[in-house]
Structure 1
Amino acid sequence: MAFYETRGFILSLRVVQGLLTLLVLGLSAYVANWWGGYWNAGAPSSVAFMVFVAVITLITLAYLILVPMRYGESKLNHAGVIAGIEGLTMIFWFASFVALAVFVGNRVCFGHVCSAAKAAAAFGAFEWLAFSATFALSILYVWRNRGVGGSVAADPKMNMSEA
């Protein structure tokens, strides 16, 4: 087993994902709040989508950390389900940071709100990279264990469950 498949490495990636999610949530919520208060309208869809993705990611991270720890080798901890959740979250982060970057790039932008929006897009890109890494590890695990039986439970060491 390589170092990148150890429980500690995966948990550290999850912690990084959680911290980046909280950072992006705070920045994008600030931008959404300012935009709604300044223009007396709702937040732009790209900013609202970034907030949505950050909130969904917190729920996803709770699942990806707690379910493997609690349920070990059950149907809830299926490697394909984990890979699917990782892939969907990765796609959401890619779409949200690109949409926000395009939104900020197409307008005259200055001040603290503009800086916060640009920072949210940049940290969203780093979050996408973090989820790309864990998605690649989960796909690698599924690929290595294909054809092993009807149900491929996720490796307990990959998912921080008790060994």
Structure 2
Amino acid sequence: MAVNRAEKKTLDYALRALQLIFAIIVMGTDGYAIHVFRGHTVYEHSWFGNFYDYYGVPDAWGFLMFCAAWTVLIVIFHLIAGISFADRVLIGYIRVAVEAVAVLSWLAGFIAVAVQISTDTCSAGKNSCGTLKAATIFGAFEWLLFMVTAALTVMLVFNSSHKPRISTTRPDAAV
């Protein structure tokens, strides 16, 4: 099925808008879970001595927040690169690399948080579990959106009819 260039741009803008919306939702839900968690101090007794140990917010929650912030930057980059540098080959390869990093980041981020939901870090008695589950679900949807946009970007860059720019100087020109 042939899709013209205007329909591809419309689809790309719609997917980027969804990515931005889901990133904002993940920022809000994950940020609220981080705020509500409140670290705690535990008195530890071991064979080499007693000490107080502080348990803060798990690192995976912060990484999911990083993925959401990274997504905002990616969407801005793709909008600028798609408008200003559409005919540059190097920018196309950079777009593919950025998409690949985003896909892997979201995959790692939502899986790391999903693993912690079943642990005692997020037990049923804590208020942050519901919002953390929502952040994980929207993180999974964000990963799926990035899988789609990564596939579209790869097809656009590698199947493009654009050729690299050719030098306008003549081969016999004096140097």
Partner residue, 2:46:
none
Match of 2:149 in 1: 134
The answer to whether the 8 A contact 1:3-1:9 is kept is: no
SS in 2 for 1:6: helix
Q: Please tell me whether residue 104 in structure 1 is matched to residue 117 in structure 2.
A: yes
Give aligned pairs, total.
Answer: 148
Name segments (4+ residues, structure 1) moved above 3 Å. Answer: 148-151
Say what the alpha-carbon RMSD is for the aligned residues.
2.3
Larger Rg over CA atoms: 2
Q: Counterpart of 1:121?
A: 136
Residue in 2 aligned with 1:81?
Answer: 94
Cα 1:55/1:65, change in 2 over 3 Å? same
Q: Does 1:29 align with 2:31?
A: yes
- Structure 1: gaps (5+ residues): 152-163
CA contact (8 A) 2:106 2:140 kept: yes
Task: Give distance in 1, aligned partners of 2:4 and 2:99.
Answer: 20
Q: Is the 8 A contact 1:83 1:138 kept in 2?
A: yes
Provide the rounded CA distance (Å) in 1 between the counterparts of 2:82 and 2:4: 19
| Deviation readout 1:83-112 (Å, 9 max, x if unpaired) | 111111111000000000001122362254
3-state SS in 2 of match to 1:18: helix
- Of all paired residues, the percent bearing the same amino acid is 25
State the TM-score, normalized to the length of structure 2: 0.75
Identify, as 1 or 2, the structure richer in helix. Answer: 1
In structure 2, stretches of 5+ residues that fail to align are 42-54, 166-175
Between 1 and 2, higher relative CO (CA 8 Å, sep ≥ 6) is seen in 1
Name the CA distance, whole Å, in 1 between partners of 2:89 and 2:57. Answer: 39
Q: Distance in 2 between matches of 1:20 and 1:52?
A: 14
The 1:101–1:57 alpha-carbon spacing in structure 2 relative to 1, beyond 3 Å, is same
